[in-house]
């Protein structure tokens, strides 16, 4: 029972790291970026390739898994995404889904269609007993890393100058610009960080979710569910939504395996019927 | 007037002379494989095996030059169907071959029936495939065929309680049914779990399997996913809890076995082919294959190799004729393949072969499925049960 809860939380944490970048671009910048999963895949491949070809240890690859997609995000934001900010949502959806397909075929062509494998260091394999509950070491590691990230993100958004500028730019870009805030630069940075977080999520998730060129399509639905259910106005919303969905998914598959795959959708529908604007969003 | 007559007669003679000559020129074989997309490894294995076969056995059979036309269907059934049609109508192939997955083979089967063109199935493993058309011949395996020996072995080896864990689609359900039926008949108990095909995380299913405290977990998944499953099996400590992992050979696919790492060690599986099969034919095959393709052949490669073997044998017997004659000629043929003795069943056009019990071991720094037992001449049990 507690093991199920633990697995669910670890899975939820992973979903959150994958999804929080999207909740930022979608909620704060009002841009529908379905290609978010492609950045996650980039992070996963960065880790897998650096480990398998360059022989770097797992932990050392994680900064690259964050940095490379962030850099890619920064460049793409500048040359591809920016012209689309003012366009209708349908254009953004079509554009970004196109990017996903390009990323999928591009990866397939360059690196093959097979699964990429990551060999974890020995100290992250196996499991340990904590208070009588057997827990997986790697899953504990995910929980710790993601927990730290959540706290850090929340602090940055609510306590720092950058955070308040970002919130100001989102609330009313025109006034923010009038006050001398460089809205474009703030959005670019936010986009890059969001992409980087997705990359980190991809790297951490490769071991649990598997990693192949169709990764962006595989996780897209889960990520979108998290963002929809969580609402897009804060970090806390998607975070709690991710935890809830993670636990519901794992518990559903454990207790009713025959219906397991549908539990997550049932939870989503129930929540959206009760709170169409998401769990924690202010009513508009 | 006279001149015209002479000219017409000359033309007619020339045409009559040219006709048989043209027929003897080339026998084209349309090879339809997923060369891109998630099942590209199947396509690459089979393509390499077909090339190797022609390199080693020459490119003439039954007095005709055999030309293989490779088409990529990307693993999508409607594309397979379109390509099969193009190959039959435009290229006038004597046979179509390949078919990486069951739905792809089923999509092409009606065309084979209509055009009376033999379809050699080199991969797809659901039992019903050969019933889809009287022109389908299979040289791979059926899932039930390799699962039944697993259930028999498990019952003999003192395993009493098994949790089956299969991917929820055609072949997975075939495997689940075959295993459960044979194993319960032998006095064991079975609990069935089905995992969605697009499943991101195995942990809840594994936890449930662990809590049931079985002697063994029997698993079937498509090959890439199997590696992920195996890692989580070890991570969850099921192996240390005394639960054994048994499976069909797809899970410990030779193509990716080495990437799985030590998690795979000791897994017992049953299959019709292992690259470690101990025979002179296989040693030569594996060595030549690795030299030519740069990777280890798996069961898909051997399916492609034997598909070509069947076609060459058939073309030799019919002197290069296609159609019904070619299917009839292939029926009942027997030959020694890298996997061992192989027969195409005269009644069902399906493959009859030995199924081996293997265990993953480390040898010379690489992981191999080392065979330690076998059931000779296994027929597809699903069709055998239907036969009067």
Same domain, B132 and B112: yes
Q: Between A and B, how many CB-CB pairs are < 8 A?
A: 91
pLDDT at B180 over 90: yes
The residues spanned by each domain of chain A are: 2-213
Distance from the Cα of B198 to chain A's closest Cα (Å) equals 8
Mean per-residue pLDDT, A167-184: 83
What pLDDT digit, counting tens, does each position of B289-330 carry? Answer: 999 988 899 999 999 999 999 999 999 988 878 889 999 999
Q: How far is Cα A4 from Cα A81, in angstroms, rounded to an integer?
A: 40
Of the candidates A113, A119, A131, the residue with the CA atom closest to the CA atom of residue A215: A113
Q: How far, CA to CA in Å, does A183 sit from each of A172, A189, A234? A: 10, 10, 19
Q: Closest chain A residue to B200 measured between Cα atoms?
A: A209
pLDDT given at position B236: 81
Q: Closest chain B residue to A135 measured between Cα atoms?
A: B236
Q: How far is Cα B375 from Cα B231, in angstroms, rounded to an integer?
A: 30
Same domain, B361 and B343: no
Tell me whether residues A250 and B204 touch, CB distance under 8 A.
yes
At residue B157, the 3 state secondary structure works out as coil
Given A112, A114, A209, which is nearest B201 (Cβ)?
A: A209
pLDDT given at position B21: 44
Q: Which residue numbers of B have CB closer than 8 Å to A's CBs?
A: 36-41, 193-194, 196, 198-201, 203-205, 207-208, 224-225, 227-228, 231-232, 234-237, 256, 259-261
The length of chain A in residues reads 284
Tell me whether residues A214 and B38 touch, CB distance under 8 A.
yes
ipTM: 0.73
At residue B321, the 3 state secondary structure works out as coil
pLDDT at B16 over 60: no
Same domain, B188 and B329: no
Task: Report residue A284's pLDDT band, with 50, 70 and 90 as the boundaries.
Answer: very low
B3 in a structural domain: no
* Number of structural domains chain B divides into: 2
Chain A residues near residue B229 by CB distance under 8 angstroms = none
What pLDDT digit, counting tens, does each position of B35-51 carry? Answer: 887 788 889 999 999 99
Same domain, B337 and B360: no
Mean pLDDT taken over chain A: 84
pLDDT given at position B4: 65
What pLDDT digit, counting tens, does each position of B142-167 carry? Answer: 988 999 999 999 998 889 999 999 88
pLDDT given at position B19: 47
pLDDT at B234 over 90: no
Mean pLDDT taken over chain B: 87
pLDDT given at position B305: 94
Same domain, B47 and B77: yes
Higher pLDDT, B47 or B235: B47
Question: Torsions phi, psi of B10, nearest 5?
Answer: -60, -45
Question: Torsions phi, psi of B66, nearest 5?
Answer: -100, 120
Question: Torsions phi, psi of A128, nearest 5?
Answer: -135, 160
- Residue B185 sits in a domain of what CATH number? 3.40.50.2300
At residue B137, the 3 state secondary structure works out as strand
Tell me whether residues B205 and A250 touch, CB distance under 8 A.
no
What pLDDT digit, counting tens, does each position of A54-74 carry? Answer: 888 888 888 999 999 999 999
Tell me whether residues A7 and B207 touch, CB distance under 8 A.
yes
Same domain, B262 and B134: no
pTM of the model: 0.78
Tell me whether residues B205 and A254 touch, CB distance under 8 A.
yes
pLDDT at A111 over 90: no
Same domain, B264 and B332: no
Q: How far is Cα B353 from Cα B334, in angstroms, rounded to an integer?
A: 10
Q: Which residue numbers of A have CB closer than 8 Å to B's CBs?
A: 3-4, 7, 11, 105, 108, 112-115, 117, 119, 125-127, 134, 136, 138, 207-210, 212-214, 218-219, 222, 249-254, 257-258, 260-261
Q: Which domain holds residue B27?
A: 11-141+279-349
Strand partners, B61: B64
B84 in a structural domain: yes
């Amino acid at each position: 029972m507690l093991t199920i809860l633990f697995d669910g939380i670890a899975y939820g944490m992973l979903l959150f790291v994958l999804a929080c970048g999207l909740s930022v671009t979608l909620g704060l910048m009002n841009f529908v970026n379905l290609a978010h999963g492609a950045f996650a895949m980039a992070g996963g491949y960065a880790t897998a390739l650096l480990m398998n070809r360059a022989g770097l240890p797992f932990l050392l690859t994680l900064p690259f898994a964050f940095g490379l997609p962030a850099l890619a995000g920064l460049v793409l934001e500048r040359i591809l995404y920016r012209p689309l900010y003012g366009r209708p949502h349908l254009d953004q959806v079509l554009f970004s889904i196109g990017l996903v397909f390009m990323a999928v075929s591009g990866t397939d062509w360059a690196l093959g269609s097979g699964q990429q494998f990551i060999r974890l260091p020995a100290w992250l394999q196996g499991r340990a007993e904590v208070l009588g509950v057997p827990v997986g070491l790697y899953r504990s590691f995910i929980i710790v890393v993601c927990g730290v990230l959540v706290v850090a993100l929340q602090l940055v958004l609510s306590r720092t100058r950058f955070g308040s500028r970002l919130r100001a730019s989102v609330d009313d870009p025109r006034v923010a610009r009038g006050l001398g805030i460089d809205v474009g630069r703030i959005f670019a940075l936010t986009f890059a960080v969001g992409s980087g977080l997705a990359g980190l999520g991809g790297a951490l998730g490769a071991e649990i979710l598997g990693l192949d060129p169709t990764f962006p399509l595989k996780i897209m639905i889960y990520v979108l569910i998290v963002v929809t259910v969580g609402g897009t106005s804060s970090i806390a919303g998607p975070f709690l939504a991710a935890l809830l969905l993670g636990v519901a998914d794992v518990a559903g598959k454990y207790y009713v395996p025959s219906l397991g795959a549908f539990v997550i959708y049932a939870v989503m529908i129930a929540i959206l019927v009760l709170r169409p604007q998401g769990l924690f969003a202010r009513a508009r | 007037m006279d001149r015209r007559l002479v000219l017409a007669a000359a033309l007619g003679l020339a045409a009559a002379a040219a006709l048989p000559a043209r027929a003897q020129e080339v026998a084209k074989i349309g090879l339809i494989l997923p060369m891109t997309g998630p099942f590209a490894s199947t396509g690459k294995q089979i393509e390499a095996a077909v090339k190797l076969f022609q390199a080693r056995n020459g490119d003439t059979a039954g007095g005709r030059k055999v030309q293989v036309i490779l088409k990529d269907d990307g693993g999508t059934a409607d594309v397979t169907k379109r390509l099969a049609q193009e190959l039959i109508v435009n290229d006038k192939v004597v046979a179509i071959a390949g078919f990486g997955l069951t739905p792809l083979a089923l999509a092409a089967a009606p065309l084979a029936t209509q055009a009376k063109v033999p379809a050699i199935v080199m991969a797809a493993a659901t039992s019903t495939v050969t019933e889809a058309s009287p022109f389908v011949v299979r040289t791979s395996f059926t899932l039930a065929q390799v699962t039944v020996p697993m259930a028999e072995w498990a019952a003999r080896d003192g395993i009493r309680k098994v949790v089956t864990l299969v991917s929820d689609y055609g072949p997975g359900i075939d495997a689940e049914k075959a295993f459960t039926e044979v194993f319960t008949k032998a006095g064991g108990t079975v609990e069935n779990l089905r995992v969605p095909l697009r499943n991101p995380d195995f942990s809840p299913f594994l936890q449930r399997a662990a809590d049931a405290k079985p002697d063994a977990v029997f698993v079937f998944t498509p090959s890439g996913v199997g590696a992920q499953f195996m890692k989580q099996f070890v991570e969850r400590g099921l192996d240390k809890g005394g639960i054994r992992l048994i499976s069909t050979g797809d899970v410990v696919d030779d193509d990716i076995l080495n990437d799985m790492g030590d998690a795979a060690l000791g897994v017992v599986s049953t299959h019709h082919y292992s690259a470690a099969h101990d025979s002179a034919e296989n040693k030569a095959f594996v060595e030549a294959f690795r030299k030519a393709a740069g990777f280890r052949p798996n069961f898909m490669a051997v399916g492609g190799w034997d598909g070509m073997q069947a076609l060459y044998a058939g073309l030799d017997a019919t002197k290069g004729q296609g159609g019904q004659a070619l299917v009839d000629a292939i029926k009942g043929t027997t030959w020694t393949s890298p996997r061992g003795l192989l027969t195409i069943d005269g009644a069902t056009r399906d493959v009859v072969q030995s199924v081996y019990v293997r265990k993953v071991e480390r040898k010379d720094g690489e992981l191999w499925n080392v065979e330690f037992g076998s059931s000779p001449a296994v027929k597809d049990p699903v069709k055998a049960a239907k036969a009067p």
